[in-house]
């Protein structure tokens, strides 16, 4: 089915339309929800809830966006809802992962450039896996800001709406998450040969 046929089939609630939608989008949605919730079981539940919600809200799909974009937003919301319903645990401090500064404003230690350009390093499979593991180590609110903005590509306002916070809070969390991620990754890159 092309996009227009798929949109019409989804709005009509046909079995063929939803089967095509599940076949084409389930894998991508599972990857998205897994990044957000952090485990396979909750990710699968969130994807299933997203498809159920999409089916129930099919009449509200206006066709002003692609069906996949509409479904992606529903899946992100389902994953965030999963996170909210988990028993809240105290958030871990991120302070130990942030750079330290001298009274004159300079860093307490000198940052060295990584021997390999970051874009080349991230292209390697093992490095990408390392980055994913280190992102998972970030405290939840910082991890979510990073995932929604840098990985999922939501705007600051969209991320704020999804997280139920302000754009400024998202910007602050994103900045601190990036700094913390650099700290977590630094031991793996600073010893690379030049």
* 194 within some domain: no
> Is residue 30 located within the same domain as residue 106?
no
> Is residue 75 located within the same domain as residue 119?
no
> Is residue 12 located within the same domain as residue 78?
yes
> Is residue 57 located within the same domain as residue 108?
no
Write the pLDDT tens digit of every residue in 124-149. 778 778 888 899 889 888 999 999 99
pLDDT score for 75: 93
> Is residue 79 located within the same domain as residue 102?
no
> Is residue 116 located within the same domain as residue 81?
no
* 25 within some domain: yes
Q: Which domain holds residue 50?
A: 3-85
Q: In terms of DSSP H, where are the helices of the chain?
A: 3-12, 15-37, 40-56, 67-85, 118-123, 125-137, 140-146, 156-163, 167-189
Residue located via tokens 């998205």:
32
Q: What parts of the chain have a pLDDT lower than 70?
A: 87-91, 111-114, 116, 118-119, 121-123, 191-194
Q: Average pLDDT of the chain?
A: 84
> Is residue 65 located within the same domain as residue 136?
no
> Is residue 66 located within the same domain as residue 127?
no
pLDDT score for 114: 65
> Is residue 19 located within the same domain as residue 41?
yes
The CATH number of whichever domain residue 34 belongs to comes to 1.10.1740.10
Choose the final residue of a domain: 31, 66, 85: 85
pLDDT score for 129: 84
The CATH number of whichever domain residue 121 belongs to comes to 1.10.10.10
Choose the final residue of a domain: 29, 60, 85: 85
CA pair distance 29, 79, nearest whole angstrom = 10
> Is residue 131 located within the same domain as residue 100?
yes
pLDDT score for 194: 44
Choose the final residue of a domain: 50, 85, 120: 85
* 172 within some domain: yes
Domain count, the chain: 2
Residue located via tokens 């390697």:
124
| 54-to-41, 42, 50, 95 alpha-carbon distances in Å | 20, 18, 6, 40
Nearest to 194 by CA among 95, 84, 115, 81: 115
> Is residue 111 located within the same domain as residue 153?
yes
Q: Is the pTM of this model over 0.85?
A: no
* 90 within some domain: no
CA pair distance 143, 75, nearest whole angstrom = 17
**Residues contacting 131, CB < 8 A, separation 6+:** 122, 181, 185
């Amino acid at each position: 089915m092309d996009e227009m046929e798929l949109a019409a089939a989804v709005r009509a609630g046909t079995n063929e339309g939803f089967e095509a939608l599940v076949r084409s989008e389930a894998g991508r949605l599972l990857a998205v929800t897994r990044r957000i919730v952090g485990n396979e079981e909750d990710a699968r539940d969130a994807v299933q809830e997203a498809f159920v919600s999409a089916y129930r809200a099919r009449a509200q799909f206006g066709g002003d966006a692609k069906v996949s974009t509409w479904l992606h937003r529903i899946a992100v919301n389902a994953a965030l809802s999963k996170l909210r319903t988990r028993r809240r645990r105290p958030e871990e401090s991120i302070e130990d992962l942030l750079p330290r500064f001298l009274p004159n404003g300079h860093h307490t230690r000198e940052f060295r450039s990584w021997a390999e350009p970051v874009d080349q390093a991230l292209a390697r499979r093992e490095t990408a896996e390392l980055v994913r593991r280190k992102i998972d180590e970030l405290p939840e609110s910082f991890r979510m800001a990073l995932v929604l903005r840098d990985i999922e590509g939501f705007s600051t306002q969209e991320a704020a709406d999804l997280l139920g916070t302000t754009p400024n809070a998202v910007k602050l969390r994103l900045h601190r998450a990036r700094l913390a991620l650099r700290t977590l990754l630094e031991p793996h890159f600073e010893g690379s040969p030049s």
